[in-house]
């Protein structure tokens, strides 16, 4: 049986920042072909593809994403911890799924598919494309770091760009211009005071201003400013959009980006459960079966310079994925 920690380290050693996943896709393709799977590469954009591996079909698909946020962080082992970009989000999970599928097949179970998608960290173009494939599975187990619990639900997301405008001028004569940053810096602190919706299961709506841009040089008063927000939704997007539009009215222009609705998930008896606050690809993979969300690792260290996963939790997750698949296929739901 393949060692899941060694496999995870191999995957982590292959840089795969979103939009540059070609090398890790090729690695997975070769590995799965060599193991006797029926493998299809689905091009998402030139040089980027989803990987779908199947045998008998009609059962359970194990799926996660193989892209990461920047920057690349090389893998290293330190005691019970495997560090590196993608350790918990989500190449460690991909390794656990690969080994679990290997164990299931060796045990005579062919009704398991593997789906590895690109682009989850920025717009989920891989999942959107994968939903066009002729999937036959009854259940989809999506992998994200849930701290080894079955997620009962997850928040959705809504990306918004906010733009304010002014008038450029030489900085030595500020009276001749109007800085676009002035209204932007007045607006953004007011976000905290808005009456964001709250859900009993998923908790409060949250908003993060992750990117700001303005101006070209320090000696030019900026004519334009832009901020990019990520709103974590707990319900329908329309009340949130109404709040944001009222907040910006007459002071800023808005441009809405990708939207993923919040979700409730299938759970099974005998497994710990709880909600998560982040978004997954599940809402975009509706053709792949009834969804479950499970994975080792903590989202709290994902996207950080200290991203890591517990070696013991990673090893245990292989057995949990096997048990989840078998429970679903046996109909004990």
Its pTM stands at 0.85
Domains of the chain, earliest start first: 4-154+263-329 (3.40.630.10), 156-260 (3.30.70.360)
User: Of 120, 121, 147, 313, which is the active-site residue?
Assistant: 120
Exposure string of 13-25, with b = 16+ CB inside 10 Å and e = fewer, is ebbbbbbbbeebb
> Which pLDDT belongs to residue 144?
98
Helical ranges in 176-216 per DSSP H: 181-187
> Which pLDDT belongs to residue 279?
85
> Which pLDDT belongs to residue 305?
98
- Tokens linked to 182: 């002035």
> Is pLDDT larger for residue 278 or for residue 85?
85
The predicted-structure confidence for 16-54, as pLDDT tens digits, reads as follows 999 999 999 999 999 999 999 999 999 999 999 999 999
pLDDT class of 1 with cuts at 50, 70, 90? confident
- Our answer to whether residue 120 is catalytic in this structure is yes
Beta bridge pairs of residue 211: 228
Q: Is the pLDDT of residue 215 over 90?
A: yes
The C-alpha atoms of residue 298 and residue 250 are separated, in whole angstroms, by 41
> Which pLDDT belongs to residue 150?
98
The C-alpha atoms of residue 282 and residue 247 are separated, in whole angstroms, by 31
Q: Is the pLDDT of residue 332 over 50?
A: no
The predicted-structure confidence for 265-319, as pLDDT tens digits, reads as follows 999 999 999 999 988 999 999 999 999 999 999 999 999 999 999 999 999 999 9
Asked whether the beta carbons of 51 and 25 are under 8 A apart, the reply is yes
Mean pLDDT of the chain: 96
Q: Is the pLDDT of residue 198 over 50?
A: yes
The predicted-structure confidence for 218-268, as pLDDT tens digits, reads as follows 999 999 999 999 999 999 999 999 999 999 999 999 999 989 899 999 999
């Amino acid at each position: 049986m393949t060692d899941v920690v060694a496999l995870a380290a191999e995957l982590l050693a292959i840089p795969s920042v979103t939009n540059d996943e070609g090398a890790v896709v090729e690695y997975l393709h070769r590995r799965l072909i060599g193991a006797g799977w029926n493998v299809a590469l689905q091009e998402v954009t030139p040089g980027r593809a989803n990987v779908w591996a199947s045998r008998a079909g009609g059962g359970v698909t194990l799926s996660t994403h193989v892209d990461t946020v920047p920057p690349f962080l090389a893998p290293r082992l330190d005691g019970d911890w495997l560090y590196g970009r993608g350790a918990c989000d989500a190449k460690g999970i991909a390794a656990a799924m690969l080994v679990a599928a290997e164990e299931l097949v060796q045990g005579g179970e062919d009704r398991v598919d593997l789906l590895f998608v690109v682009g989850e960290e920025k717009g989920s173009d891989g999942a959107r494309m994968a939903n066009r494939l002729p999937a036959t599975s009854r259940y989809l187990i999506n992998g994200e770091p849930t701290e080894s619990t079955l997620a009962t639900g997850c928040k959705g997301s809504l990306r918004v760009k906010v733009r304010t405008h002014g008038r450029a001028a030489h900085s030595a004569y500020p009276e001749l211009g109007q800085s676009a940053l002035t209204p932007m810096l007045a607006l953004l602190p007011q976000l905290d005071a808005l009456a964001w919706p709250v859900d009993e299961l998923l908790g409060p709506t949250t908003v993060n201003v992750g990117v700001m841009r303005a101006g070209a040089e320090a000696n030019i008063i900026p004519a334009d400013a832009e901020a990019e927000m990520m709103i974590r939704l707990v319900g329908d997007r329309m009340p949130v959009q109404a709040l944001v539009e009222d907040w910006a009215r007459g002071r800023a222009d808005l441009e809405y980006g990708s939207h993923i609705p919040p979700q409730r998930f299938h759970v099974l008896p005998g497994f710990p459960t709880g909600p998560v606050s982040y978004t997954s690809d599940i809402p975009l993979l509706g053709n792949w079966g009834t969804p479950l969300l499970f994975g080792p690792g903590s989202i709290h260290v994902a996207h950080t310079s200290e991203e890591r996963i517990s070696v013991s939790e990673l090893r245990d997750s292989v057995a949990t994925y096997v048990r989840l698949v078998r429970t679903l296929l046996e109909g004990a739901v």
